[in-house]
Every structure is written in C-alpha cells, then in structure tokens.
Structure 1
Amino acid sequence: MTAPARDLSLHDALTHERVVRIGDFIASQQDPNGALPWFRGGHLDPWDHVEAAMGLTVAGRHDEAIRAYLWSARTQRPDGSWPMKQTAGVVEEAAADTNQCAYIAVGVWHYYLVTGHSASLARFWPTVEAAINFVVRGQLASGAISWAMNVEREWDDQALLTGSCSTLQAIECACLIAETLGHDRPRWRAAGRGLRDAIRNSPEVFEDRSRYSMDWYYPVLTGAVRDEAAARLIDSGWETFGWPGRGIRCVADEPWVTAAETVELVAALDAIGESDRATELFNDVQFLFDEETGGYWTGMNIPNEQVWPVEQTTWSAAAVLLAADALGQATGGASLFRDAGGWSGWGGAIEGAAS
C-alpha cells in the first residue's frame, strides 16, 4: 500500500505536489528486486540505498521502502556487512564500509517512527543486529570506529569523522530498536559511549578531511554535539562553506554547491533550533530541482552555472524530503535529527573498546 504523502509544504518551496513528484522520481529509479541505486543503471552503496528508502517513506511510498529493506536483508553477508559498491548485483568493491553498513538501523527506526508499524522492527531486527555487531567489532582503541574492513578481513586503522558521527546515530537507533523490542545490548551501548567520547574530545584520532563540509556539520546533524558547542561549530564553518543565495559547498576549495550537503545542513540547523536560517537555506537550494523529472541535480558549479556531475541521484532527492519533514514536522519521523543524541540509555562510564 502506498500511503498519501503528507503535506510538507514550506513557504511554497516544496508543495505537496512536489513531494509526490519527488517520491515518484525515487520510486522510478528502484530496481524490480528492491535495490535503490544512485540512479537507474548506476551503482549502489548500502548507505545511499537506505537514504533513498527513507525518502520513499517520507513520501508515503511505504511498499517501495519495505522492498528496499527486504533487499538489504536478502543481500546482507554472513558477517553482517554489505560490499561498498555494486552495480546490477555485480560487486565492484567487496570491502565493507562500517558507516554504510550501520545505516540500516537508522532507516529501520525511521520507518517505524513514520508508520508506527512495530512489526517492521521485529521483521528487520536480525538484519540490524548483524550489521551493528559487525560495526562495533571495528572499534579502535581510541573509541573511534575503523572506517572499513578490507577483502582480507583486516580492519583499517583509520577513522573518518563524518562516518563515525553517522555510525554513532546508527548505534543509537539500533539501541532504540533493541529497547523497543525488549532486548538489551550492553556492548552496543559501550561502543556508542566510546565513540561519542572520541568525537567530542579527541579530534586527532580522525583523518583530516576538513575540506569537506560534512566533517563540519555532521557532529551536529547526528547529535554527537549539541547546545552551545553545536552553535559554535556551525558558526565556525559558515563563511568557508556557505554560498549566499545558493546553498553549501561540498568542499571548501571548489565553487560546487550540492543539494544533499545543503539540505543535511538544513536538518542540522533545525535540530539546534535555528529554523529561520534552515528555512532560508532550504529555499535557496531549490534551484537544483528539475521540473521535468521531479529529481534534484547532485550539484552545480556556481560561477559557470554548470550542473556537475550530470546526474540526479535518489539520495539527493531523499535528503531533500528528510529536510523538508524536519522543518515541517509532518511525519512521525520528522524529529529523527532533532532527537539524535538525546537517548538516555547509554549508561555509565566508558568501557574499553573491543578488538
């Protein structure tokens, strides 16, 4: 059953009709087996697949979202992971990215928040459990999470800030799923505490990717940093990454504004109560909407007014819907980012990281 898309209208920037069109666009890119590649015929990674499913959920296309999660459940490897990259079912990069694997927990929790279907949590619990067990096995002595396991099944000794922040939110969502179903996973709680402490207090343990805007705002988006520290962090990067009237740069050294980074920052701003700045930014980036297809261009080189790359991705469209929902508070999942980091069940002192 496809539920009617709720009214996510935001100052005429995203009408109800546009929400439906965006949902239709994402669904049109879905493979018959439920997979959601970047675009029809393109490659798939596990994180963006889940993000696209979340967009379908917001748009009321619940059947298609469930098909996407069933695809994840069917294709999960015995160790709980998925390959980094595949196209039409052919694996191109067999290594596993921990952040990509963890994100299934965010998607499943979001689906439950929107629909209220507790049966969906039980249905996908084995998938979530296996994925998070895999991810926490990659925790480093610093508390950060190794960014990947290679094909020789060796953990990389590097950790990435954006990925670790997203993984922290995923562990939190997994703990909430466990709690709702009556399970206790103390190892997850310990891993989350260690990871949160590393993000907040040990920036030196993460690789320097500060040219990427995601490293700027992801600690706020995912709830790792809140309150005054979050406001200071957002203010610190505004001149570097902001492009007045257009949106947010993907990287500091290129004049390239992207839809997904911009609307993720919108959700981060909304999460810390900066709704006016969030709404203005959301309105600014609507120039990347394509009236013909109902999708969003990934980005544009602003001085040249040149779309680049020439692609419209499912996850860009989904990110717009998630940001619109955050601003409009239209569905049960609208507070996903506002509530991030607020779970009270992490427990006591940080325990030692697993090998």
Structure 2
Amino acid sequence: MTLPGRGPGAAEHLVLPGVLTAEQAAETVAGIRAVQRPDGAIPWFRGHHLDPWDHVEAAMALDASGEHEAAARAYDWLARHQNEDGSWYAAYRDEAGSPPEDLGRESNFCAYAAVGVRHHYLATGDDAFLDRMWPVVHAAVSFVLELQRPGGQIGWRREADGTAVHDALLTGCSSVYHALRCALAIAEEREEPQPDWELAAGALGHAITGHPERFLDKNRYSMDWYYPVLGGAMTGQQAKARIEDGWDRFVVPGLGVRCVASNPWVTGGESCELALALWVIGESDRALEILQSVQHLRAEGGRYWTGYVFEGERAFWPEEFTTWTAGSLLLAVAALGGDEATTAVFGGERLPRGLEPDCCG
C-alpha cells in the first residue's frame, strides 16, 4: 500500500507559534531540497561533505514535511552506497562519484538508517519501499552488532584498515539503541523475528541506564546529557532527573543549548534535539521555549546557522548553514505538532525494548 504524499506546504503540524509559520516552514523545507543533489544525497551544505547520520536526519525532515519522493531518493542513495559489510563510510565528498572523505565506519552512523526507514514507512505506508530497504537495514544492523562488547556497549568505529575501536560513546550508543528498536519494529512488520537483535538491544539499553563506567567520559558535551533520554533508553523518573541535573550546565535562557558545558557557544542542532527529548518525557512547554529561543539562528532563505558564540565577539560560528540543523528543527516541531510518523518513531511506545539481561540481580 502506498499512501499519497501530502505535498510541499501541506504539513500543518510544522506550524508552531513563535517558531514557524506555514510560509517559514515551507521556506526551510525548500532550503533542504535545494541542497539535496539529483542523486538523492543530502550533504551538510553544498561543497561540504555528507555523513550517513545527518543525511538520514535531513531525509526524515523531508518526510515530516510531506516531501516523500525526495526522502525516498535519499534512502535510495543509501542503498546504492552501502558497503558489502553493511556499513557506510563516515564521510562522503559533495561530488557524485568521488572517493569517500573518511573511510572509517561509525556504528551509530550505520545504525541510524533503521530509524529513517521506519519513519519513511510510517509516513507513507509504502510496502515496496520496506521490502527494498529490509536487506539494507539487516546488513547495517549486522555490521553494528559485530562491534558490541560483552557489557552491552557498542564500539564506536571500525577504522579504514578494519581495526575495531572498542571504546564506546554514550551519545552514539543511545542513538544505536533507538535504531535497534526501530530495526526490531521493522522485523516485526515483516514477521521476521530477530532474537539476537532483541538480546543486543536489551543489553545495550541496560548498559546505558545502569553502567556509565562502560562508556568514555564525555559528560562535558550536552549530547551525552540528553541522548540517553532522546534515544529512549532512560524513561520515567530517571529521564526527568537526568534532564533536571544538567539543565543549568547546558541551557542558556533565551539563546539555546551549549554544545560543550565550558564554552559560550549554543548550537541549533543540540537545542532542537533537547526540545525533542523534552517532548519525549512530556514536557512540551519547555520544548517549545527551547525551540523559540533558537530562532535567532534563522537566516535568509529559511536556513539555520549551526551555532552562535554569545561572549566576546558575539558571532554566528561556524559560518555555515547546515541541513541537519534545519532538519532537527523540523523534526522537533513535527513531534510537537503531532505528526504521526515522527511521534511514533521518537515517542517509542510502539517500539520493542529488547530483552534486558539479568546481570545486576
């Protein structure tokens, strides 16, 4: 079954007071479309590189806006460029046919395809798409799980020469956990059980919620603060307590969220992802405030600056407008606006959680 797309400008759920009008939303969507190449690739901006994770985030934003054909082209690009081992390279140059920029393969980059595929299927109901992408998702998950450690955490990267990096990153693993749940939901849709994935997801979720010692200490980064909540591993009171614990370290009232606790630099991507995490735990009012606070990053053409330095010279930095910043904003607004596919994928109520190990009694 293929459902008709809503078409550009028809996504009422992207209208949010103080954040986006209908015209502004359409302008931002058009800005992402303008960067997308004819082959479907979505780089950070024209002339810069593409990485698989941010490519998928931008594709999801296109689906949330009703641009389903453009999103499908983005996923077709992934399918065409998948390596034989199920991975993608960490970075591709913004030139069709050119060699990759970074031959390393990162676990969270590769896993995130499952989130995008699940989102596109829920947005369109396109069974043929799911059939086409199932082998892609299956191979990607297989690559990622080869990097899983006995404690459940997943090494963050395989180097160009094939060497596995066993160090695990909390942010990356939280994203992988979300992706594994989406992959399990796809498997359920296809009636193809994956018990190994259930065990892997449960072990990873348990590591995230109960064993911080299994991850590199990166707590100065705001992503390590909110990603266990955004990825769905931490829920309920644990999630709320974590958000409260880091709020004053990272949130700059009226400006957004710091990327690094010690630096006077707020970034649009982290701010919008925090807003999405706040929506996940039922704090839509605070999510709205965060989204409103980063509108100073909006620029001509509906584009968004990556970040802003709010001390010293007080300047937008770096001097770039990134598709993933615009994409993260559109996804957060879509969640607050009740877009069914976006709320299902990030809300997590319909996503399997895997089988948690009994390692702590």
TM-score (norm 2): 0.93
Alpha carbons of structure 1 residues 348 and 204: separation in structure 2 relative to 1, 3 Å = closer
Question: Do the aligned partners of 2:170 and 2:215 also contact (CA within 8 Å) in 1?
Answer: yes
Name 1:272's counterpart in structure 2.
Answer: 281
Counterparts in 2 of 1:33-72, with a 5 A limit?
A: 33-72=39-78
**CA offsets 1:163-184 (integer angstroms, 9 cap, x no match):** 0000000000000001001111
Whether 2:260 is the aligned partner of 1:251: answer yes
Task: Assess if the C-alpha contact under 8 Å between 2:206 and 2:357 holds in 1.
Answer: no
1:346 to 354, 357, 361: 354
8 Å contact kept, 1:111–1:333: no
State the secondary structure of the residue aligned to 1:55: helix
Partner SS for 1:300: strand
- Say whether the 8 Å CA contact 1:25–1:293 is kept in structure 2: yes
Are 1:3 and 2:7 matched, yes or no?
A: yes
The whole-number CA distance in structure 1 between the counterparts of 2:198 and 2:319 is 42
1:22 Cα deviation after fit? 1.0
Residue 333 of structure 1 corresponds to 342
Query: Residue 26 of structure 1 aligns with which residue?
Result: 32
Q: CA deviation at 1:12?
A: 3.9
Q: Find the residue that maps to 2:100 and give its secondary structure.
A: strand
Q: Which residue among 74, 81, 88 is the counterpart of 2:80?
A: 74
2:147 counterpart of 1:138: yes
Q: SS where residue 156 of structure 1 aligns?
A: strand
Task: Give the match's secondary structure for 1:83.
Answer: coil
**Is 1:293 the equivalent of 2:301?**
yes
Counterpart amino acid of residue 240 in structure 2:
A
- Distance in 2 (CA, whole Å) between partners of 1:28 and 1:93 is 25
1:100 to 2:109 alignment: yes
CA apart distance, 1:112 = 1.3
Contact 2:60 2:327 in 1 (8 A): yes
Secondary structure, in 3 states, of the residue corresponding to 2:304?
coil
Residue type of the alignment partner of 1:302: F
Q: Distance in 1 between matches of 2:215 and 2:176?
A: 14
Is 1:166 equivalent to 2:175 in the alignment? yes
1:122 aligns with 2:128: no
Please say if 1:218 is aligned against 2:227.
Answer: yes
Range with bigger deviation, 281-290 or 342-351: 342-351
Partners in 2 of 1:331 and 1:258 — Cα distance?
27
Query: 2 CA distance for matches of 1:42 and 1:10?
Result: 30
Tell me the equivalent position of 2:186. 177
8 A contact 2:148–2:155 mirrored in 1: yes
Equivalent position amino acid for 1:76 in 2:
Q
Deviates more, 1:278-287 or 1:97-106: 278-287
Q: Which residue of 1 aligns with 2:249?
A: 240
Check whether the contact 1:97–1:149 (CA below 8 A) recurs between aligned residues. yes
Matched AA of 2:53: W
CA distance in 2, matches of 1:145, 1:345: 17
Pair 349,198 (structure 1): closer, same or farther in 2 beyond 3 Å: closer
Q: 1:249 and 1:345 mapped to 2: Cα distance?
A: 30
Change (3 A) 1:240 1:348: closer
Query: Cα distance, 1:21 vs. partner?
Result: 0.9
Q: Which consecutive residues of structure 1, in runs of 5 or more, have no partner in the other structure?
A: none
What are the superposed Cα offsets for residues 210-260 of structure 1, whole Å, 9 maximum, x if unpaired? 111000000000110000010100000011001011110011011101001
Residue 327 (structure 1) shift: 0.8
Aligned residues: 349
Contact persistence 1:266–1:323 (CA under 8 A): yes
RMSD value, Cα: 1.5
1:196, CA displacement in angstroms? 0.6
CA contact (8 A) 2:205 2:356 kept: no
Identity over the aligned pairs, expressed in percent? 46
Query: Which stretch of structure 1 is more off in the superposition, 189-198 or 116-125?
Result: 116-125
Give how far 1:350 is off: 5.9
Q: Give 5+ residue unaligned stretches, structure 2.
A: none
Contact 2:118/2:345, CA 8 A, preserved across alignment = no
Q: Aligned partners of 1:68 and 1:2: how far apart in 2?
A: 18
C-alpha displacement at 1:348, in angstroms?
Answer: 6.2
The CA deviation string for residues 9-60 of structure 1, in whole angstroms up to 9 with x for no partner, is 1114211211111111001001121111110111011101111111111121
Aligned residue in 2 for 1:302: 310
State how far apart, in whole Å, the 1-side matches of 2:62 and 2:139 are. Answer: 24
Residues in 1 aligned to 2:209 and 2:339: alpha-carbon distance in whole angstroms: 31
Give the Cα–Cα distance (whole angstroms) in 2 for the partners of residues 349 and 238 of structure 1: 31
